[in-house]
Structure 1
Amino acid sequence: MTSLHTTRVRRRRLGVAAAAAGLFATLLMAGPAAATPDPGDHPATGTGLSASQEAVAAAAIQDGEIPGVDEIVHSDNITPLANIPKDALKGLNTDLAFQGKYAFAGNYDGFRIFDISNPKSPKTVAQVLCPGSQNDVSVSGNLLFLSTDSSRSDNSCASTTQPATEKSSWEGMKIFDISDKRNPKYVAAVETACGSHTHTLVPERSSVYVYVSSYSPNETFPDCQPPHDGISVIKVPRKSPQKAAIVNFPVLFPDGGNPGAPTNRGVSKTTGCHDITVLPSKDLAAGACMGDGLLFSIKDPENPKIIDRVQDNVNFAFWHSATFNQKADKVVFTDELGGGGAATCNEEIGPKRGADGIYDIVGRGDHRKLVFRSYFKIDRPQAATEVCVAHNGSIIPVKGRDLMVQAWYQGGVSVWDFTNSSAPKEIAYFERGPVSLDAVTTAGPWSAYYYNGYIYSNDIAKGFDVLKLDDRRTDPAKRVRMPELNVQTQPDYFDH
């Protein structure tokens, strides 16, 4: 990278607020924004800007304060290696999973398998058309798991949308046999209450447990009735996945969880979980559950037990995801302010909302507590048309340091250090400029994960990116090799 990129970013950090304040202010409320769920089947588009506001944005680009439309900027220690645009699957790109030389990329229309044996030139191995947002994807052995969180006419890959008010509608988990990566076979389906927004695997030798996160029940939905205060636990026998079945629905919020507004203005009411991350080597899990953050034991995977629960009714609107550090003495929770459909990386929103919350885990056993230490948010302001918020990321495995790579939608990919829980700092980044200057648009990295020496990112609109990170702080991670990675099933990177 040339020095031009670094110079542009310095100017942008110092000058963007003055140049674009009017642009930002028109789109955001003065008080805390009400949290909404993820975009669902429809990306956030259509919020137009006036001609004068577009002129302000254009001037900011001209002055080097923000990147130009689709312009790529990055820090000196990141090198973009490849970008593979969308092909047959035209929906929003979503989550990623990895196994050996393969990457599995979710899309609202199905999933795509890449051969990443040469990271500079990934090759498409298969594309499976199977519509059903979000199509959150995980793999374990010969099985691939796909979440369906939109009401469908049936459980087939040929289904169509159908109102959730109809009893015959279907949402839940789909299971594929991927023993032949070029020809995945759909082998099983399990319907779950309120669908499957995300899911998390707890692998065992003969079976795989699947924790299904879903939320937003409604009395008019026959298969998604309130209260919906827990998660579905599915047991999948590896040798006979067609026998997959729900074995429990543990109640995580016997008191109903965070009541949300009007008691806690701007905070989501808890009606289930958005995402769960497990650390099987420590029998621990962390749950991001709308208005609540959880720490729980999974010693008995069919019966998870709550250890501690926290809320942040000042700055967190929607507890979205969780990541442990390697020592399991910290958890990073993300806040998806605006539900992944708003521009929140600007001075009006500030550094504490739509951010990461870093919590230390103190104490022992069932007496452990989550103790808040600080917030982290990228300090690279974005245009008012750029949906930007904390999203999915993973640990970068370096002994003695807590390093993470994370997606921020149109805020790009951020690499940051939280070894000091109270003083996190960004150490690398990659991002594209606005997709548009005349309408708010959902785009940018949905997930950004570190796997076997490279960063892989699934950009909602632009496709599959591969980045190389060269930095003395992260270089030791290049020696760590994993046979499989589902980020929500965090491995012990140094004991496998």
Structure 2
Amino acid sequence: MILLKESRTRRRRLGVAAAAAGLLAALLTAGPAVATPDPGDRPTAGKGVSESTEAEVKAAIADGEIPGQDEIVHSDNIEHLVNVPKDALPGTNSDLAFQGRYAFSGNYDGFRIFDISNPKAPKTVAQVLCPGSQNDISVSGNLLFLSTDSSRSDSSCSSTTQPATEKSSWEGMKVFDISDKTNPKYVAAVETACGSHTHTLVPERRNVYLYVSSYSPNATYPDCQPPHDGISVIKVPRNAPEKAAVVDFPVLFPGEGPDGGGNPGAPTNPGVSKTTGCHDITVLPDKDLAAGACMGDGILFSIKDPENPKVIDRVQDNVNFAFWHSATFNQKANKVVFTDELGGGGAATCNAAIGPNRGADGIYDIVGKGDKRKLVFKSYYKIPRHQADTENCVAHNGSLIPVKGKDIMVQAWYQGGVSVWEFTDSARPREIAYFERGPLSTEQLVGGGAWSAYYYNGYIYSNDIAKGFDVLKLSDRRTDPAKKVRLGELNVQTQPDYFD
């Protein structure tokens, strides 16, 4: 089903500006709290909206201008094959990883393994209860890695929450042996400064390096002291994962003062996050290159020496970017797409009041050679469909769709759904397909929607925070060549050379 975008957009422009005025004012004038990052261990409780907003949402649904509550809509070139609801792990669904015929689904309560041999009928192979917030997930060979970004009583899977002000509290990386997919075994834990919000694999033959991204230090936290201006590097021997350990903490933002040399945030740059670490990093191992989304900064760096990454260039956008969240390279490594998670994933920012340039993607060309390469801004991309003010919506996790000679990616937008868009022309990005559900609620702002949406071996897989695991089939002449590309393993933040 294709929505009539013109009439829908016109209707949303009439009502949203007034309903979102308070949010817009807050986003433009407030201090660091505006750019709140992912919600961590906090419950996704609903937030009340005004009576006028509630009435507008219901009227827009009644008029057919936005999808009905939980109604599925999509462009004609996308088919929704299946949804697998959450089962034994009721927490927030998070990231995805892939290996062979398996998909690995992170959840704030642990992780789930699916057999996707038949994408129309995924089968649950295992569900592992291991609470810890985020549970950002990746796999390499027989090893699975989970990020814990909430203060826990210990490193076990039966731990409970415990204040970060207590020295005995634990946050960091967990390592599992998945040689038997039906029975994963917990084999190692590595504590890292400020925990692990996300992590990125830099694989070698004998070792796996993990770049651990974390942030928000506090002088009262014994294991998360300022300045926290770098990343933890963990070395994991493949044949002895129990020996995994932090081998370095490279400083990416050197500078004077308690917070290092990153973006100072408010009041110098109102509405922009102060840089106290990185949120996420994407690497291109074949090209020894990485891009870091680091709160108030975007960086390009060399990973020729994986234990000692070197920053090549650094950019800021203090007008439109509140929180640099993630990064995606194109295949030629001459572009990178950064996302801005305005409102921390918990706000309704896909509306006329916020506009097309905030809570969006920023497309940057990479110009020059070697250590003299520079990031050059070209344009913004944001989904063209306005969402209800009861829907959290902002740019989130996506991946390339491997089409030679084209730059196309699929991306999650929380309750904005899944968008397939092209940026072959860096200055003129455009959407070519979409899938979304109507609001979870018409009476309050409730957190939900697609956390991650990735292309793997001919299909799009999406982890919906509230609804579970979705499989989509994309049929379009512009993307059909990607169906010939087959991978044995995919961790999206470790981008492969698809055409090597």
Structure-2-length-normalised TM-score: 0.97
Instruction: Say whether 1:440 aligns with 2:436.
Output: no
Alignment of 1:280-295 (within 5 A): 280-295=285-300
Alignment of 1:210-249 (within 5 A): 210-249=210-249
Shift of 1:65: 1.3
Is contact 1:24-1:383 (8 Å) kept? no
Question: Could you tell me how far apart the structure 2 residues matched to 1:288 and 1:153 are?
Answer: 29
What amino acid is aligned across from residue 210 of structure 2 in structure 1?
Answer: V
Question: Could you tell me how far apart the structure 2 residues matched to 1:399 and 1:68 are?
Answer: 38
Give the aligned partner of residue 499 of structure 2. Answer: 494
Question: Could you tell me how far apart the structure 1 residues matched to 2:70 and 2:178 are?
Answer: 35
Give the aligned partner of residue 325 of structure 1. Answer: 330
Instruction: Say whether 1:379 aligns with 2:384.
Output: yes
- Kindly provide the CA deviation profile for residues 205-228 of structure 1, in whole angstroms up to 9, marking residues without a partner as x: 000000000000000000000000
- Kindly provide the CA deviation profile for residues 336-391 of structure 1, in whole angstroms up to 9, marking residues without a partner as x: 00111111001111100000000000000000000000000001011101000000
- Kindly provide the CA deviation profile for residues 259-308 of structure 1, in whole angstroms up to 9, marking residues without a partner as x: 00000011000000000000001000000000000000000000001100
Give the aligned partner of residue 475 of structure 1. Answer: 480
What amino acid is aligned across from residue 54 of structure 1 in structure 2?
Answer: E
Give the aligned partner of residue 10 of structure 2. Answer: 14
- Kindly provide the CA deviation profile for residues 27-76 of structure 1, in whole angstroms up to 9, marking residues without a partner as x: 44265262112111124433212334322211101111111100001000
Structure-1-length-normalised TM-score: 0.98
Question: Could you tell me how far apart the structure 2 residues matched to 1:238 and 1:52 are?
Answer: 57
- Kindly provide the CA deviation profile for residues 425-460 of structure 1, in whole angstroms up to 9, marking residues without a partner as x: 000000000000111111000000000000000000
Give the aligned partner of residue 119 of structure 1. Answer: 119
Q: 1:314 aligns with which of 316, 319, 333?
A: 319
What amino acid is aligned across from residue 330 of structure 2 in structure 1?
Answer: N
Report the secondary structure of 2:406's partner residue.
coil
What amino acid is aligned across from residue 476 of structure 2 in structure 1?
Answer: D
Give the aligned partner of residue 23 of structure 1. Answer: 19
Give the aligned partner of residue 142 of structure 2. Answer: 142
What amino acid is aligned across from residue 10 of structure 2 in structure 1?
Answer: L
Between 1:25-34 and 1:193-202, the stretch displaced more is 25-34
What amino acid is aligned across from residue 314 of structure 1 in structure 2?
Answer: V
Runs of 4+ in structure 1 off by over 6 angstroms are: none
Q: Which stretches in structure 1 are left out of the alignment for 5+ residues?
A: none
Is contact 1:23-1:57 (8 Å) kept? no
Is contact 1:20-1:60 (8 Å) kept? no
Instruction: Say whether 1:156 aligns with 2:152.
Output: no
Question: Could you tell me how far apart the structure 2 residues matched to 1:207 and 1:50 are?
Answer: 54
Q: 1:389 aligns with which of 388, 394, 412?
A: 394
Is contact 1:341-1:387 (8 Å) kept? yes
Q: 2:403 aligns with which of 398, 402, 406?
A: 398
Question: Could you tell me how far apart the structure 1 residues matched to 2:171 and 2:412 are?
Answer: 27
Query: How many matched pairs?
Result: 491
Alignment of 1:4-403 (within 5 A): 5-29=1-25, 32=28, 34-255=34-255, 256-403=261-408
Report the secondary structure of 2:48's partner residue.
coil
What amino acid is aligned across from residue 240 of structure 2 in structure 1?
Answer: S
Is contact 1:27-1:384 (8 Å) kept? no
What amino acid is aligned across from residue 107 of structure 2 in structure 1?
Answer: N
Report the secondary structure of 1:59's partner residue.
helix
Question: Could you tell me how far apart the structure 2 residues matched to 1:372 and 1:51 are?
Answer: 40
Question: Could you tell me how far apart the structure 2 residues matched to 1:139 and 1:385 are?
Answer: 35
What amino acid is aligned across from residue 46 of structure 2 in structure 1?
Answer: G
Question: Could you tell me how far apart the structure 1 residues matched to 2:52 and 2:303 are?
Answer: 55
Report the secondary structure of 2:59's partner residue.
helix
TM-aligned CA distance change 1:408 to 1:43, over 3 Å? farther
- Kindly provide the CA deviation profile for residues 182-209 of structure 1, in whole angstroms up to 9, marking residues without a partner as x: 0000000000000000000000000000
Instruction: Say whether 1:457 aligns with 2:453.
Output: no
Question: Could you tell me how far apart the structure 2 residues matched to 1:7 and 1:53 are?
Answer: 22
Between 1:20-29 and 1:75-84, the stretch displaced more is 20-29
Is contact 1:19-1:60 (8 Å) kept? no
Question: Could you tell me how far apart the structure 1 residues matched to 2:2 and 2:14 are?
Answer: 20
Question: Could you tell me how far apart the structure 2 residues matched to 1:386 and 1:484 are?
Answer: 33
What amino acid is aligned across from residue 391 of structure 1 in structure 2?
Answer: H
